[in-house]
A and B are shown apart, each in its own frame.
Chain A
């Protein structure tokens, strides 16, 4: 298993966000994680990439700094739940965060360079840049532009491109289509499909269930911090309760 989450529990103060959750992602899969707002999808991704632990450490002793993180997270068979976020990246587990979050005052190219921060070899970084440009020609055209002035769709491309710069083995993408125009959404989904074809394992969090179920090989349905269903899209859609209650279809 590439990624294995076992009995994970996350509490912020007294709010139980992830409740004894277990899940796996295998090499080469495109797995989706769907569920209503506030189900804990983003928190799960943040826990996997060490951001919850980072928050816990950096907010110790402050209001809202009372964070509990229990359970095991394994990446490539290695425990990472005690590893600092910036070192998890080195292992090839990259998180493309919610709301895109580009470095807004920096140019597109600088953002991409920041993504390759850990790539020591210049040639290798240049090669990665070429690959990202090949996948997202729009980024090449706008390489000198300040990233805060890009459109939402372009910012999403940038966020994914930035994540690809460090040669991920597993890419976690958090709600890439949220807030985008329909045409940009289609484009973003198409790019994610292409990334999956490059043999990069993807764990995709999305609201747009109908599209993701067609793309993903396996899906997890999350509600109130628990996995309540798992399987291929068609199977999940056949289940009346899940379809109506959790997916709103």
Chain B
């Protein structure tokens, strides 16, 4: 039981962390609350399903292709629907909700509401401290941790990462460093969608696919960024694991807990908003004149 909680908490936490970091990234850089973020995650899962099931591609080809395709799709959506109205925060919010709904409905028309699945990449299981863990779960955990580490390296150690963080902290002053703030925002949209797509690729062999699968992660992700502090990468990372373990604990320890897992996230979110509205690592944004 405890081992199950740890393994599941780690995997879910890593996936949530990937989602929440991407969401924080685009919020931080462009002040876009992207409700369609988990729709990108779902889209990646469906792309892989199509590549694998219909086109007969190897999953090792289908997955990177799907990640790139989602990134490109996100950039196109940004240019078409978000960039023209970027200064109107409420309109952007509505546009991203609409985008998510469009993706959901398009998938519903294309694939129906059935549950779909992709077989695991590797079969078999390992026995770790007496609990059976499938290799697929271990692979998912490894890839998720690798992707998180990769994101961290990109942000902290590369020049585009520096430009991105600078823009997130002060959009106006970033201009004065010679950073093309509009282009950074567009790139960030692509990068954040690609990180979400990686999360989608990780869960494909573990979960079933259906056109509503973006809803639960969306709620968790929103709760996580409220807990961690909106716009804080560290907060998103820590918050993701806290939420994942809270969720897994309820599922395993509370009778009928799996029905309650959504409400746990929302309860934590409400508590945080009541007690510490800025979140664990909340940052005060520099006022732009």
Contacts and interface: CB of A to CB of B under 8 A. Distances in A.
Interface of A: 49-51, 54-55, 58-62, 65, 84-87, 89-90, 94-95, 97, 101, 103-106, 110, 113-115, 117-118, 162-163, 166
B166 A90 contact: no
Task: Classify chain B: how many residues form its interface, as a range.
Answer: 20 to 34
A113 B162 contact: yes
B270 to A, nearest CB: 28
Given A50-B175, A95-B176, A62 B88 contact: yes
Contacts, number: 80
18 contacts: A51-B172, A55-B172, A58-B86, A60-B87, A61-B88, A89-B176, A89-B178, A101-B172, A104-B286, A106-B165, A110-B165, A114-B177, A117-B159, A117-B162, A117-B178, A117-B179, A118-B177, A163-B176
Please give me the 9 A-B residue pairs with the lowest Cβ-Cβ distance, nearest first.
Answer: A89-B178, A118-B178, A85-B175, A103-B169, A114-B166, A117-B177, A62-B87, A86-B180, A101-B173
Interface string B153-172: 00000010011011001101
Nearest to A49: B176
A131 B79 CA distance: 41
A55 B172 CA distance: 9
A10 to B, nearest CB: 14
Nearest to A93: B176
Contacts of B169: 103-106
A15 to B, nearest CB: 14
Contacts of A90: 178
B247 interface: no
Nearest to A111: B166
A20 to B, nearest CB: 24
A105 B235 CA distance: 14
Nearest to B181: A86
A97 B177 CA distance: 11
A166 B177 contact: yes
A171 to B, nearest CB: 11
B122 interface: no
Nearest to A159: B173
Contacts of A163: 176
Contact of A86 (B87, B88, B165, B179): B179
Most A CB within 10 A of own CB, among B163, B172, B175: B175
Contacts of B170: 101, 103
B283 interface: yes
A117 B175 contact: no
Contacts of B163: 114, 117
B204 to A, nearest CB: 35
B175 to A, nearest CB: 4
B175 A86 contact: yes
Contacts of B166: 103, 106, 114, 117
A223 to B, nearest CB: 21
A105 B283 contact: yes
A54 B170 CA distance: 14
Interface string B65-109: 000000000000000000000111000000000000000000000
A85 B176 contact: yes
Contacts of A101: 170, 172-173, 286
A105 B87 CA distance: 24
